[in-house]
Amino acid sequence: MYEERPALLDGAVLWTRTAAGPGTGGSRPVLPDGCMDLIWAGGHLLVAGPDTRAHVPAESAERYAGVRFAPGDAPAFFGVPAHELRDRRVPLADLWGAAGTRRLGERITDAPDPAAALDEAVRRRAADLPAPDPLLRAVADRLAAGRAVAETADAVGLGARQLHRRSLDAFGYGPKTLARILRLQRALALVLSGVPYAEAAVRAGCADQAHLARETRALAGMTLGAYTASAAASANSETPEPSGSRTTA
């Protein structure tokens, strides 16, 4: 079972997940979403970097909890540029050191509600860090709304090279890749709400249905039909999980 709610940290999402049991077909692929997560996996702390392709989780624990940061917010929290974690799942200890990470993991694991403890730990650490860069939040918001990359660069007052460099550090990839990923997320959300493929493609910013089909294969690793079938099967099962749910390496 997968559930999510707003996290204590502004713009973040707290999610929990119980691993699928035998015979349930396993986990759905996690699609790129422009985000990074801090994950508690049955006592271990992991970082899910920004994805450029679908990731199929490998079950390593029965229970998971995670905080999914808003696009661009996580690098300051973890202390590493996002592009260094692109398409990777790494132990938090690799970034923060073994001793401190072990103590944090034990504190979360021993709490009556590990998800709430993880949520509070993230809030406390973030409170001691500078606030997220409003310029980069504006970049993410504009691209999520379907604005063009060039228009976005002009709106935030950055040249193309500056925007690309800062996007690599903040999001893990350049603004064109981020725009593609967010466009696919918009299109698939429309598809799941019942909008026909062709209409969803145009409304999301694709040239046509064929364009959306190519992007779905490239970024999600499956056809549109396979994605909708997988989503329907998940919705009808006892362990629903949306494309943003991240777990292990």
pLDDT digits (tens, 9 = 90+) for 98-112: 999 999 999 999 999
Q: For residue 161, how many other CB atoms are within 10 A of its CB? A: 9
Give Cα separations from 157 to 18, 160, 172, 179 (angstroms): 44, 10, 21, 18
pTM of the model: 0.89
222-246: per-residue pLDDT in tens?
999 999 888 887 766 544 444 454 5
128-149: per-residue pLDDT in tens?
999 999 999 999 999 999 999 9
Q: H or E element: which one contains 114? A: helix 114-127
Residue 64 phi/psi, 5-degree rounding, is -135, 150
- The whole-angstrom separation of Cα 53 and Cα 222 is 11
Give the up-direction half-sphere exposure of residue 30: CA atoms within 13 A in the CB hemisphere: 25
43-87: per-residue pLDDT in tens?
999 999 999 999 887 777 889 999 999 999 999 999 999 999 999
- The whole-angstrom separation of Cα 81 and Cα 64 is 25
Give me 59's structure tokens. 């079950």
CATH number of the domain residue 200 falls in:
1.10.10.60
Give me 163's structure tokens. 């925007």
Identify the domain containing residue 191 by its residue range.
1-249
Do 13 and 7 contact (CB within 8 A), yes or no?
A: yes
Domain count for the chain: 1
Q: What percent of the chain has pLDDT over 70?
A: 90
- The whole-angstrom separation of Cα 75 and Cα 82 is 6
- The whole-angstrom separation of Cα 169 and Cα 101 is 23
